[in-house]
Amino acid sequence: MGDVIYWILLFVIFALVVYILYLKKKIDFEVEKRIGEMKESIRKNALDKSRSVIKGKISEHIAPFMDDFDYNASDARFLGSPVDYVVFDGMGEEAEDIKVVLADVKTGKSNLSSIQRKIKKAVEEGRVVWKTVKLD
């Protein structure tokens, strides 16, 4: 009788080991599948973001030639950072009064950066100064 119980226990242990190995294989397969899906999602998001950034950069450079740009393209000077343009509105017509405009181009869902918000506030509060620097 003791031999029968021994063989039954041995068989049950063997069956459990086989089942555990099967579950491990199944879990490994699911994990690899999920990792593959996540990698693909990350790649897609990176490409979408890259396309968005490239479109934004292109838009920044062609903005003065678009109908939505309220100023003469020849009056605009591209900086790129921290704002895209300094516009000397009226310079092209050699007007008596020129208005200086800091302009930033935004596309899609983009918003002003924190430094751009600070610059905007400084302009709105009149904290803008002219300084002539003479070098010897």
Residue with tokens 């242990």: 13
Coil vs helix vs strand at 99 = strand
Query: Would you say residue 115 has pLDDT above 80?
Result: yes
Distance CA 121, CA 60 (A): 22
Q: What is the pLDDT of residue 123?
A: 96
pLDDT, tens only, 4-43? 888 889 999 999 999 999 999 999 999 999 999 999 999 9
Distance CA 87, CA 50 (A): 28
Query: Would you say residue 102 has pLDDT above 90?
Result: yes
Query: Would you say residue 109 has pLDDT above 90?
Result: no
- Taking every pair of Cα atoms in the chain, the longest distance, rounded to a whole number of angstroms, is 114
pLDDT, tens only, 82-100? 999 999 999 977 778 999 9
Distance CA 111, CA 28 (A): 43
Mean pLDDT of 101-116: 93
Best CA proximity match to 89, nearest among 80, 79, 77, 98:
98
On average, the pLDDT of the chain sits at 92
Residue with tokens 């062609």: 62
